[in-house]
């Protein structure tokens, strides 16, 4: 029985989320947790989708492409695009999803799923290894999921590595890593939120006070240059301070929340060099820069404060790929 499995990484945004929607730069990196999508031949007349982490076991009729569950709307949109725009026939298959990423946590799980599905589907039908096709299909899924995505999540899921991203331009791949003796912790607040709603709120606030918000957006862009210098020189104290400043800008634009701030301040109070939300905000995840000697202490503090899925990540992981 034919089966193809592909995977794509989650991501964190180190600097620049939200501001990137209006054309500033951001730094994003693929992390060491992935989403796996397996496509298998089936005798059924339906497309069956199984995702234990999402508590999902549902079907889509390959003729109408109407999903049996609202969670499947992005997948249905990708299938429709594959059929109507790319001209490929949609046949019944079983799609199994295994995610190492918490859903709705600002770590790019939906983009990782879209990219992994697109890559697995193209491999399943014997299509050439075209990242451009993967990109086109993935963007359809992300647009259905989030309305007006920045494009960072899709870029990271497909390209992997670490990038400087500016909307409308090709991502600039860069190489950066934490010096020995330092760690980056990700903590899920456990609060799910709609990326679309947060993005629309922040854009609405920016439009209400253009003379002020334009200065904040400029400051966010200038942080990128300082952060790159801090990485290059290994100045982690400065990098942590820049993370705190970026968080202050995000707070000003309304992207933070009480839960986020409580976790950030708990980490800082216990020795973190810097901490900020990553992704849309209002919940989702935070990232915390720490010295390795304090990593266990701060992870325990975050758990005590109610955080979920607290883990360390490495940066610059590979992008979408077919698994052996």
- Show me where the domains of the chain are located: 3-173+317-322, 177-312
Give the number of other Cβ atoms within 10 Å of residue 208's Cβ.
9
Backbone angles phi, psi at 7, to 5 degrees: -140, 160
CA distance 287 to 14: 8
Q: Quick one: residue 217, left, alpha or beta (phi over 0 = left, psi -120 to 50 = alpha)?
A: alpha
Q: Report the range of poorest mean pLDDT among 48-57, 181-190, 303-312, 315-324.
A: 48-57
Q: Report the range of poorest mean pLDDT among 3-7, 96-100, 146-150, 218-222.
A: 146-150
- pLDDT band for 149, please (50, 70, 90 cuts): low
What's the whole-number average pLDDT of the chain?
92
Q: Report the range of poorest mean pLDDT among 20-24, 73-77, 148-152, 311-315.
A: 148-152
User: Is 153 labeled as catalytic in the residue annotation?
Assistant: yes
Answer whether CATH 3.30.565.10 is correct for domain 177-312: no
Encode pLDDT of 75-133 as tens digits: 999 999 999 999 888 989 999 999 999 887 889 899 999 999 999 999 999 887 788 89
Q: Report the range of poorest mean pLDDT among 47-56, 179-188, 290-299.
A: 47-56
Average pLDDT over residues 231-256: 97
SS3 of residue 136 by DSSP: helix
- pLDDT band for 227, please (50, 70, 90 cuts): very high
CA distance 74 to 254: 27
CATH class of the region 3-173+317-322: alpha beta
Helix, strand, coil abundance in the chain, percent, nearest 5: 45, 25, 30
- pLDDT band for 196, please (50, 70, 90 cuts): confident
Give Cβ neighbours of residue 77 (< 8 Å, ≥ 6 apart).
140, 141, 143, 144
Q: For the chain, give the percent of residues with pLDDT over 90.
A: 71
CA distance 127 to 7: 17
SS3 of residue 288 by DSSP: strand
pLDDT score of 271 more than 80? yes
SS3 of residue 64 by DSSP: coil
Encode pLDDT of 155-183 as tens digits: 899 999 999 988 888 889 999 889 999 99
CA distance 49 to 94: 6
What integer pLDDT is reported at residue 142 of this predicted model? Answer: 84
Catalytic one of 57, 153, 221, 309: 153
What integer pLDDT is reported at residue 147 of this predicted model? Answer: 67
In this predicted model, which residue has the larger pLDDT, 71 or 220?
220
Helices (H), the chain: 73-84, 109-124, 131-146, 152-159, 195-208, 210-233, 236-252, 258-269, 292-304
Give the number of other Cβ atoms within 10 Å of residue 292's Cβ.
12
Q: For the chain, give the percent of residues with pLDDT over 70.
A: 98
CA distance readout (Å), 42 to 11, 39, 48, 224:
32, 9, 9, 49
**Model-level pTM?**
0.87
Q: What is the CA radius of gyration of the chain?
A: 20
What integer pLDDT is reported at residue 143 of this predicted model? Answer: 81
What integer pLDDT is reported at residue 148 of this predicted model? Answer: 63
What integer pLDDT is reported at residue 314 of this predicted model? Answer: 93
Average pLDDT over residues 270-275: 98
Give the number of other Cβ atoms within 10 Å of residue 27's Cβ.
25
């Amino acid at each position: 029985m034919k089966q193809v499995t592909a995977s794509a990484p989650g991501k964190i945004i180190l600097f620049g989320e939200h501001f990137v929607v209006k054309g500033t730069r951001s730094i994003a990196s693929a992390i060491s947790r992935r989403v796996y999508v397996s496509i298998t031949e089936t005798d059924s007349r339906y497309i069956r989708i199984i995702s234990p982490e999402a508590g999902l076991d549902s079907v889509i009729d390959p003729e109408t492409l109407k999903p049996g569950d609202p969670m499947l709307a992005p997948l249905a949109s990708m299938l429709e695009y594959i059929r109507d725009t790319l001209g490929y026939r949609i046949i019944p298959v079983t799609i199994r999803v295994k995610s190492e990423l918490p859903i709705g946590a600002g770590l790019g799980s939906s983009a990782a799923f879209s990219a992994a599905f697109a890559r697995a589907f193209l491999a399943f039908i014997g299509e050439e290894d075209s990242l451009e096709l993967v990109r086109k299909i993935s963007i359809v899924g992300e647009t259905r999921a989030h309305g007006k995505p920045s494009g960072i999540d899709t870029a990271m899921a497909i390209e992997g590595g670490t990038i400087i991203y500016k909307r409308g331009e090709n991502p600039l791949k860069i190489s950066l890593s934490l010096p020995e003796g330092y760690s980056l912790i990700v903590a899920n607040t456990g609060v799910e939120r709609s990326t679309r709603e947060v993005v629309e709120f922040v854009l609405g606030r920016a439009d209400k006070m253009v003379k002020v918000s334009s200065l904040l957006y400029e400051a966010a862009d200038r942080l990128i240059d300082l952060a790159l210098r801090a990485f290059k020189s290994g100045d982690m104290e400065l990098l942590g301070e820049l993370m705190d400043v970026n968080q202050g800008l995000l707070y000003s634009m309304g992207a933070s929340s009480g839960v986020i701030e409580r976790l950030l301040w708990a980490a800082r109070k216990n020795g973190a060099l810097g901490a900020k939300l990553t992704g849309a905000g209002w919940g989702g995840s935070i990232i915390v820069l720490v010295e390795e000697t304090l990593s266990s202490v701060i992870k325990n503090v975050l758990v005590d404060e109610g955080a979920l899925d607290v883990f360390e990540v490495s940066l610059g992981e590979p992008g979408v790929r077919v698994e052996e």
